Amino acid sequence: MNLLNLEEEKFKNITVRGYNFKIHYISPMKMIQYTQKRMQLQGGNSVESLTQVDFNNFENIALVDACVEDFPEGFNEYESCANWDDIDLINDVAKEIKKHTEDFKSKLKKNRSIKRGDK
């Protein structure tokens, strides 16, 4: 990864179930947006009051809403992916966002250690 081209590394085009998405890694700003959206979806309920399934669904909906930059045709009409009919698609896209974030952080860490001369 070239630190000069870091902007390009933040994004990734993915295909999930035949749909093409452009995703962004979970940056600090995206984390704030994602957390605010998750809290909004929780409707003021504490995390402890939610079932694990509900919490995971809220988390993945918020993550997709915060980190998808470009949606497939027909998906832009929705304000939020919470309005999609397919929770499994939301979960799969969220999984790709998490994977991309881990890959991005790993490349960044590797690049920094090489630049400093660490091995």
pLDDT tens profile 75-113: 877 889 999 989 999 999 999 999 999 999 888 887 765
Find residue 22's DSSP bridge partners.
13, 70
What pLDDT was estimated at residue 87? 95
Domain segments of the chain as ranges = 3-116
pLDDT tens profile 7-65: 778 999 999 999 999 999 999 999 999 999 999 999 988 889 999 999 999 999 999 99
Question: Is the sign of the CA dihedral 16, 21, 25, 26 positive or negative?
Answer: negative
The CATH code of the domain at 3-116 is 3.30.2220
* CA separation for the pair 92, 3 (Å, rounded): 29
What pLDDT was estimated at residue 112? 64
What pLDDT was estimated at residue 75? 86
